[in-house]
Amino acid sequence: MNNSVSFDLSQDGSPCRGTLSFSGGFVSAEIDGKEVFRRSVGDILELRQKTDIGCGRLEMAVRDTSVPAEEAPRALSDAENIPVCRFTMTYVNDISEFCKMVNHYIKTGEESQIVFTERLRCEKCGRAFVPGIDICMFCTDKGYVAKRTFALMRPYIPSVVLAGIFLLLSNLALAIAPVLYGQLVDNYLSPPAGFVPRFPAEQGIALLALTMVGASIVGQVCTIFSKRISNKIGSSFSNDLRILVYDKVQRLSLTSMSRKTAGDLIKRVTDDTQIVRRFLTDQGEFAISQSFMFLAIAGILFSISPLLTFIVFVPVPIAVYAISRFWHFMHLRFERQWVQNARSRSILHDIVRGIRVVKTFGNEEREIEKFDNANKRLAEISAKNEHTWAMVFPFLHFFVGMGEFFVILIGGKMVLEGQMTAGNLYTFILFLAYIYAPLRWMASLPRWLAELVTSLLKIFEISDERQSVAEAADPVDLDYDGDLAFCNVNFGYKSYEPVLKNVNLHIRQGEMIGLVGHSGAGKSTMINLIMRLYDPQGGSLRVGGTDIREADQSVLREHIGVVFQETVLFAGTVYDNIAYAKHSASPEEIIAAAKTANAHEFIMKLPDGYNTLVGENGHTLSGGERQRIAIARAVLKDPKILILDEATSALDSETESKIQEAIGRLIQNRTTVAIAHRLATLRHADRLVVLEKGEIAEVGTHKELLEKQGLYFNLVMAQRQTSKLRSDDQKALEEA
Amino acid sequence: MSETTTAVQTGALTNIGFLELEKCEFYRNPNGFLCLRYEGEEHNRVQALRSLPLTQPDAFLCIQDMENQEIGILETLTTLPEGMAELVQEELERRYYCPGITDITSIKEKMGFYYFDVSIGGFKKTFSVKDLGKSIKELRRGGILITDVDGNRYLIPDLAKITPRCARQIEPYLY
């Protein structure tokens, strides 16, 4: 049975190799094989994991034996806890699972096995996986990026090959020129003694000129075809990538979204896909055609002079080595440029989004300076990269083409000594331009590759990320009536920091539940779980008896309507924004929904009624008006479950009464879960659920809970006191 | 700091609630937890939190009970009597675990992730870092703070004082 985990810090904070075990009702800890802790869990209430900064500690909470048996067991104060071990964040998840196993034993007396919910380390190298990615990036082979790119490009391969063939034909047609020049010299301008050309001189020269014109036309036509095909491939491929990334961004859990800035995500969807397109359009087909050209021309050169061909290729292996080293160096520099670019965008995004705050505090100059500094830094890094490139590239270029000088030196000598004709040397030298084109292109490859690989990795990082809220493989049909149950739900945004602890709550169809508690008590977390923005780590949420993880997410969300405190309006008309809940809604339905939401009246005052543009660059609506649009959306959706998250906060009393009236209509015959800061707005709820530190502390009606004089009573009294102070202040002001 | 103090004194801001040193007595209970006796009241187990952990780690230390209720703020650690300052310092070191890197064997980039092989004291440690721009912070006085993908933190206290070989390893990754 697996009942031990590792830890890596001694009590004094020094690194160690420790093992924490649970066996026969005893928790024990060993460091380097020596037992340093052993204790029975007999008088222990639970194991508690505390997370600090960069580390954590495990403690035993001792049971308070003075609590009568009929009351719920309690722990002595934290000061009486028994320290067990310390650990770094590397082991925090393992220790969390250990805690769950031991606490399960303490509660039930059943021994169980530690369940590691996810693979955390690579079996091969032992390195930690990067959260959200299930492959070891360290052990992944070097061809990973190329393989992934080719896999994505598979549908385009026939088109790429076709574009490459056209470009090859174009290059071959243009490459006939050196052969013709050679013939011009050897046959007509400076023929060897005794040589009789096939055609008379004038006719032969005209024929050569005509062939050159024909070859040039064929070459240019092929270039046009090739460019057209490659541009099409580039656009379609980048479009596919953009959709892939955008689609994944839409599906990412809120946890992973919160780890990335808006600027970062926008850059991945737009710029990175653009860089891939540019590479494909500008470099992809060139690479294919030049590879063939390289082989063909190398063959021609070899047939003219093996010695000179050898001289041309001597610097190549050294250049390839230098290029590969330089690539690594450039890659890091381009990564730096990428990060700074994303930072600048994030600053810009923040400023634009918060422009009202910036202006209110008169911080325009400061923000300009901030953006200016970020841009200067970006310009600095870009300039440095360009500078490095400008310094190294000509050198590489020169080095790769160094063979040309030796060709002239040795080839010229060979012509003078009669080992080679002047025409052949001329042809050879002209062909060098064709052979050096791919070689010099290779010298410029580090820059392209550095930029490309940086962008591809950013794209793959998103596309490879595991969805933490996974879609059911075989979703069950959800025949939902509005019944909702939390069954032993345990959840934490970080699995080792529980936010909800063992929550059990059955909400009946059509019931209105008010969630009450201090901030951080777990109210919003409960509604996040209902919407399945996250999945619980323990227990389940059941709708109509079905675990929501077994249902199709989109089907589940069809049954849920939400009115948030802040309503986001998308760029579009009022009509579009209401129809966001049901795209197929008819104008009658939209207007009826707006009337139910008390929104129709203000919409009709807008210049273009329901066709008025709102959102970005559109008409500005007040908070109350936005809220009514949100309610209209919810009405239109006609959900079985309605979630009201501070729907009426921050509104003036007149607006609030209109919204309350609309909400009153909306909640009829629907299961409603509401959070409201102002407790008075929840007094008519069928039941109030009071949360305290992630646990349900009280459940009852407003009246019952007031009579109980518990937590809810205290919250109400505190709020009344605040209101009284406010109204006293108001009176004093009025009297003054 | 003087500006803040002035504001507090003039009553422009809420009183910051500095603890009066002469009324503070820090000690450890038998289980080794930090406790505070303040103005005669026993706070059986307290925690010390840094308000400015990166810029002023030894100033504005928030002392809380285990319910996260603030008892008061210690203006600086240095003004505490010697024995007590050590107790609070130990508590801070326990809470903010950030071992010092003594040697960097290698830093390898693989698929956009950076794998560090380092020594911490005599211990070899391997960790991985993502998003260099966010994970490596340059601190004041030449320090470098590195946060790995698990949330562990590592410190190079002074870049100027590490070996030239280590400096060469880390410098390309400083943004």
Do residues A313 and A458 share a domain?
yes
pLDDT at residue A266, as a whole number: 75
Mean pLDDT over A230-248 rounds to: 81
% helix, strand, coil for chain A, step of 5: 55, 15, 25
Do residues A448 and A530 share a domain?
no
* Contact across the interface for A81 and B33, Cβ inside 8 Å: yes
**Residue B120 with chain A: CB contacts under 8 Å:** 15
* Contact across the interface for B66 and A78, Cβ inside 8 Å: yes
**Residue B35 with chain A: CB contacts under 8 Å:** 79
Mean pLDDT over A538-567 rounds to: 86
Among the candidates A435, A463, A491, a domain finishes at: A463
- Does residue B8 or residue A114 have the better pLDDT? A114
Do residues A479 and A454 share a domain?
no
Do residues A394 and A441 share a domain?
yes
**Minimal C-alpha gap between A288 and chain B (Å):** 25
Q: Any alpha helices (H) in chain B, and if so which ranges?
A: 2-10, 82-95, 132-135, 164-170
**Minimal C-alpha gap between B122 and chain A (Å):** 9
Q: 3-state DSSP call for residue A669?
A: coil
**Residue B95 with chain A: CB contacts under 8 Å:** 52-53
Q: Cα(first)–Cα(last) distance of chain B, in Å?
A: 30
The residue to which tokens 């039941």 are assigned: A687
Q: Any alpha helices (H) in A156-259, and if so which ranges?
A: 157-183, 201-251, 254-258
- Measured between CB atoms, does A265 come within 8 Å of chain B? no
Do residues A526 and A671 share a domain?
yes
Mean pLDDT over B128-136 rounds to: 83
Length of chain A, in residues: 736
| Residue A165 located in a structural domain | no
Which of A52, A342, A458 is opposite residue B97, by nearest beta carbon? A52
Residue A58, H or E segment? strand A55-62
Return residues 76-95 of A near B (CB < 8 Å).
77-83, 86, 88-90, 92
Instruction: Show contacts of A321-330: CB within 8 Å, 24+ apart.
Output: A322/A396, A322/A399, A323/A396, A323/A442, A323/A443, A323/A445, A323/A446, A326/A392, A326/A396, A326/A446, A327/A445, A327/A446, A327/A449, A327/A450, A328/B109, A330/A385, A330/A388, A330/A389, A330/A446, A330/A447, A330/A450
Mean pLDDT over B142-152 rounds to: 90
| Residue A590 located in a structural domain | no
- Measured between CB atoms, does A58 come within 8 Å of chain B? no
Report how far apart, in Å, the C-alpha atoms of B127 and of each of A85, A125, A128, A243, A335 are: 22, 12, 7, 33, 20
Mean pLDDT over A126-134 rounds to: 67
Q: Are strands A613-614 and A484-491 parallel, antiparallel or unpaired?
A: unpaired
Cα R_g (chain A), whole angstroms = 37
- Measured between CB atoms, does B108 come within 8 Å of chain A? yes
Q: Round the average pLDDT of chain A to a whole number and report it.
A: 83
pLDDT at residue B62, as a whole number: 95
**Residue A127 with chain B: CB contacts under 8 Å:** 115, 126, 128
Q: How far apart are CA B53 and CA B141, in angstroms?
A: 14
Confidence class for position A512, pLDDT limits 50, 70, 90: very high
Mean pLDDT over A583-612 rounds to: 89
- ipTM above 0.85? yes
Say if residue B63's pLDDT is above 90: yes
* Contact across the interface for A15 and B120, Cβ inside 8 Å: yes
Do residues A444 and A551 share a domain?
no
The values of phi and psi at residue A86, to 5°, are -125, 160
Mean pLDDT over A585-602 rounds to: 90
Inter-chain CB pairs, A–B, below 8 Å: 116
Mean pLDDT over B121-125 rounds to: 85
Return residues 10-39 of A near B (CB < 8 Å).
11, 13-15
- Measured between CB atoms, does A194 come within 8 Å of chain B? no
Among A116-125, A275-284, A424-433, the range of highest mean pLDDT: A424-433
Q: How far apart are CA A468 and CA A270, in angstroms?
A: 25
Q: 3-state DSSP call for residue A273?
A: helix
* CB of A602 closer than 8 Å to CB of A625: yes
Q: 3-state DSSP call for residue B147?
A: strand
Q: Is the dihedral of CA A263, A264, A268, A272 positive or negative?
A: positive
* Contact across the interface for B175 and A336, Cβ inside 8 Å: yes
Mutate to test the interface with B, among A58, A59, A90 (most CBs of B within 10 A): A90
Say if residue A60's pLDDT is above 90: yes
CB-based burial label for A262 (10 Å; 0-12, 13-18, 19+): middle
Do residues A493 and A410 share a domain?
no
Return residues 445-484 of A near B (CB < 8 Å).
454, 457-458, 460-461
Do residues A413 and A308 share a domain?
yes
Say if residue A591's pLDDT is above 60: yes
Length of chain B, in residues: 175
Q: How far apart are CA A345 and CA A240, in angstroms?
A: 24
Which of A15, A80, A127 is opposite residue B128, by nearest beta carbon? A127
Say if residue A727's pLDDT is above 70: no
Do residues A243 and A340 share a domain?
yes
The values of phi and psi at residue A584, to 5°, are -90, 10
Residue type, A237: F
Return residues 127-156 of B near A (CB < 8 Å).
127-128, 130-133, 148-153
Q: How far apart are CA A292 and CA A633, in angstroms?
A: 60
**Residue B175 with chain A: CB contacts under 8 Å:** 336, 339-340
Q: How far apart are CA A38 and CA A79, in angstroms?
A: 20
**Residue B66 with chain A: CB contacts under 8 Å:** 77-79
Residue A87, H or E segment? strand A82-88
**Residue A145 with chain B: CB contacts under 8 Å:** 111
- Does residue A552 or residue A119 have the better pLDDT? A552
**Residue A77 with chain B: CB contacts under 8 Å:** 44-45, 66
Question: Domain of A91?
Answer: 4-108
Do residues A240 and A360 share a domain?
yes
Among chain B residues, CA nearest to A92: B150
pLDDT at residue A301, as a whole number: 86
- Measured between CB atoms, does A341 come within 8 Å of chain B? no
| Residue A132 located in a structural domain | no
Say if residue B2's pLDDT is above 80: no
Return residues 43-62 of B near A (CB < 8 Å).
44-45, 53
* Contact across the interface for B149 and A130, Cβ inside 8 Å: yes
* CB of A297 closer than 8 Å to CB of A175: yes
pLDDT at residue A690, as a whole number: 94
Return residues 343-372 of A near B (CB < 8 Å).
343
Instruction: Show contacts of A23-29: CB within 8 Å, 24+ apart.
Output: A25/A105, A27/A60, A27/A84, A27/A102, A29/A84, A29/A85
CB-based burial label for A462 (10 Å; 0-12, 13-18, 19+): buried
Q: What percentage of chain A carries pLDDT values higher than 90?
A: 19
- Measured between CB atoms, does B33 come within 8 Å of chain A? yes
**Residue B149 with chain A: CB contacts under 8 Å:** 128, 130-131
Among the candidates A443, A463, A483, a domain finishes at: A463
| Residue A403 located in a structural domain | yes
Among chain B residues, CA nearest to A84: B31
pLDDT, tens digit, 9 for 90 and up, residues A347-361: 888 888 778 778 877
Do residues A279 and A357 share a domain?
yes
Do residues A409 and A546 share a domain?
no
* Contact across the interface for B128 and A92, Cβ inside 8 Å: no
Residue type, A107: K
Q: How far apart are CA A292 and CA A623, in angstroms?
A: 65
The values of phi and psi at residue A563, to 5°, are -120, 115
* Contact across the interface for A127 and B29, Cβ inside 8 Å: no
- Does residue A248 or residue A409 have the better pLDDT? A409
Kindly report the CATH number assigned to the domain that includes residue A21. Answer: 2.30.29
Report the predicted TM-score, pTM, of the whole model to 2 decimal places.
Answer: 0.67
* CB of A190 closer than 8 Å to CB of A422: yes
- Measured between CB atoms, does A145 come within 8 Å of chain B? yes
Q: What percentage of chain B carries pLDDT values higher than 90?
A: 44
* CB of A52 closer than 8 Å to CB of B94: yes
* Tally of structural domains, chain A: 3
Give the list of residues 6+ apart from residue A721 with CB closer than 8 angstroms, or none: none
- Does residue A252 or residue A11 have the better pLDDT? A11
pLDDT, tens digit, 9 for 90 and up, residues A435-465: 777 777 776 676 677 777 777 877 887 777 7
Residue A542's beta-bridge partner residues?
A: A485, A547
Mean pLDDT over B142-158 rounds to: 91
Among the candidates A432, A463, A494, a domain finishes at: A463
* CB of B154 closer than 8 Å to CB of B148: yes
| Residue A239 located in a structural domain | yes
